[in-house]
């Protein structure tokens, strides 16, 4: 990608104009994650025209796509060669883009076993706040010396610049899969998950909600069959299992759906990141546990301060995902030393402070 590209030229002109006027820009791909984080502010800057798969080498397990490329298109392309994005980034709704996926940095049910989305980002092209096109990383895994900017952009929510092109590592789809179901309460589920994590089992994903623990096995046929016999439980039919895990990945499961009346009554959806060995959290409300116990979704009406205190007490943090009012702040604010690093990065990449102001924190 070069600056002579017409769509990129348009973006450069918009950025330089906004910087000269110090006019904020709201960077948009498919706009499927507008609800996540702090509310977007600024003039909408659409990236849908910056689309297309630039290159795909199935034998090298790498795909490069422009940021506005629909995520569905990317996944369909690599699926045709029996490959996938292993961390299962959530799509939330149709229309999501590759750039939005990386900017959000979110991972799905398989994150605990395969790694986070940032681990599969190999290289990026970024348009900074001066209208300069910068290249970081490449198309091989061992290409980083010094600060790893490419992977740092995963989860930056567009506050550092406009992702223009992304190179991602992909992997072959597992040969065999099975989903096992177990009836148990929260304490029993956490105990089972800790026990299984210490064993050589082909565990790919887990989820507990409403007294049912579901475990997804993936790998070689022999390994999945052996684990199925060892663990017991009842097995979910393959197509039904695939649909169910998709509903977890994309938050289409009933647990995640908060109606307008529930939001108006003060009910919120929180995402708590805690050590997997954390005991059940005394929060009341309803919980949905993933990642072997390390990710705990909670919905209820408890004050934000109490939810964050519970997460911090366990050595983790909490994110307010859905609420009628996000005044407490969506993300847990880092310590002041870390905030100083954030500010220096912001100043270096976006000196006029025009990209997605306040999307992460009130002053960033």
CATH number at residue 68: 3.30.465.10
Dist CA 155 CA 178 (whole Å): 31
**Residue 288, phi-psi category: left (phi > 0), alpha (psi -120 to 50), beta (remainder):** beta
Cβ atoms of 126 and 142 within 8 Å: the answer is no
Q: Are residues 102 and 152 both part of a single domain?
A: yes
pLDDT exceeds cutoff 90 at 362: no
Radius of gyration of the chain from its Cα atoms, rounded to whole angstroms: 21
Q: Are residues 275 and 213 both part of a single domain?
A: no
Q: What is the pLDDT confidence band of residue 148, given thresholds at 50, 70 and 90?
A: confident
Domain boundary among 220, 249, 278: 249
**Residues forming beta bridges with residue 183, ordered by sequence position:** 212
Q: Are residues 89 and 119 both part of a single domain?
A: yes
Q: Are residues 141 and 32 both part of a single domain?
A: yes
pLDDT of residue 170: 98
Range of the structural domain that residue 181 is part of: 176-249
Dist CA 256 CA 210 (whole Å): 13
Q: Are residues 15 and 150 both part of a single domain?
A: yes
Q: Are residues 53 and 165 both part of a single domain?
A: yes
- Report pTM: 0.94
Q: What is the pLDDT confidence band of residue 3, given thresholds at 50, 70 and 90?
A: confident
Strands (E), 286-348: 286-290, 295-300, 317-322
**Residues forming beta bridges with residue 44, ordered by sequence position:** 26
Q: Are residues 79 and 204 both part of a single domain?
A: no
Domain boundary among 249, 283, 308: 249
Q: What is the pLDDT confidence band of residue 293, given thresholds at 50, 70 and 90?
A: very high
Lowest mean pLDDT among 1-5, 102-106, 129-133, 276-280: 1-5
Q: Are residues 314 and 345 both part of a single domain?
A: no
Average pLDDT, the chain: 95
pLDDT of residue 4: 80
SS3 label, residue 44: strand
pLDDT exceeds cutoff 80 at 142: no
pLDDT of residue 235: 98
Mean pLDDT of 178-185: 98
Cβ atoms of 153 and 124 within 8 Å: the answer is yes
Q: Are residues 220 and 277 both part of a single domain?
A: no
Domain boundary among 249, 273, 292: 249
Q: Are residues 162 and 184 both part of a single domain?
A: no
For 119, which DSSP code?
G
pLDDT exceeds cutoff 70 at 92: yes
pLDDT of residue 139: 65
- Looking at the domain assignment, is residue 334 inside a domain? no
**Residues forming beta bridges with residue 320, ordered by sequence position:** 270
Mean pLDDT of 316-335: 95
Q: Which helix (H) or strand (E) holds 167?
A: strand 162-169
CB within 8 Å of 7: residues ≥ 6 apart = 49, 50
Cβ atoms of 16 and 3 within 8 Å: the answer is no
- Looking at the domain assignment, is residue 329 inside a domain? no
Q: Are residues 202 and 316 both part of a single domain?
A: no
Cβ atoms of 90 and 57 within 8 Å: the answer is no
34-89, pLDDT tens digit by residue?
999 999 999 999 999 999 999 999 999 999 999 999 999 999 999 999 999 999 99
């Amino acid at each position: 990608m070069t600056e002579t590209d017409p769509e990129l030229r348009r973006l450069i002109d918009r950025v330089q104009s906004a910087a000269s006027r110090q006019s904020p820009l709201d960077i948009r791909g498919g706009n499927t994650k507008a609800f996540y984080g702090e509310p977007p502010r600024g003039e909408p800057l659409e990236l849908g025209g910056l689309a297309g798969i630039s290159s795909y080498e199935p034998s090298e397990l790498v795909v490069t796509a422009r940021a506005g490329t629909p995520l569905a298109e990317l996944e369909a392309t690599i699926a045709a060669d029996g490959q996938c994005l292993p961390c299962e980034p959530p799509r939330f709704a149709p229309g999501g883009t590759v750039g939005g996926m990386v900017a959000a940095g979110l991972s799905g049910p398989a994150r605990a076993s395969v790694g986070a989305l940032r681990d599969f980002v190999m290289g990026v092209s970024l348009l900074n706040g001066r209208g300069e096109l910068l290249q970081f990383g490449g198309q091989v895994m061992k290409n980083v010396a010094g600060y790893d900017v490419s992977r740092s952009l995963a989860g930056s929510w567009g506050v550092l610049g406009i992702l223009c092109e992304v190179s991602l590592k992909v992997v072959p789809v597992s040969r065999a899969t099975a989903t096992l179901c177990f009836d148990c309460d929260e304490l029993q589920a956490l105990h089972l998950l800790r026990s299984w994590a210490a064993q050589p089992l082909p565990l790919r994903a887990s989820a507990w909600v409403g007294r049912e623990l579901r475990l997804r096995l993936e790998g070689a046929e022999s390994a999945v069959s052996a684990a199925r016999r060892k663990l017991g439980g009842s097995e979910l039919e393959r197509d039904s299992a695939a649909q169910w895990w998709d509903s977890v990945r994309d938050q289409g499961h009933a647990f995640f759906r908060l109606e307008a009346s529930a939001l108006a009554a003060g009910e919120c959806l929180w995402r708590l990141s805690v050590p997997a060995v954390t005991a059940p959290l005394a929060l009341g409300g309803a919980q949905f546990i993933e990642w072997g116990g390390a990710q705990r979704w909670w919905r209820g009406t408890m004050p934000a301060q109490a939810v964050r205190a519970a997460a911090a007490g366990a050595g983790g943090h909490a994110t307010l995902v859905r609420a009628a009012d996000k005044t407490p702040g969506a993300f847990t604010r880092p310590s002041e030393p870390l905030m100083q690093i954030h500010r220096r990065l912001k100043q270096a990449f976006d000196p006029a402070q025009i990209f997605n102001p306040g999307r992460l924190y009130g002053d960033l």
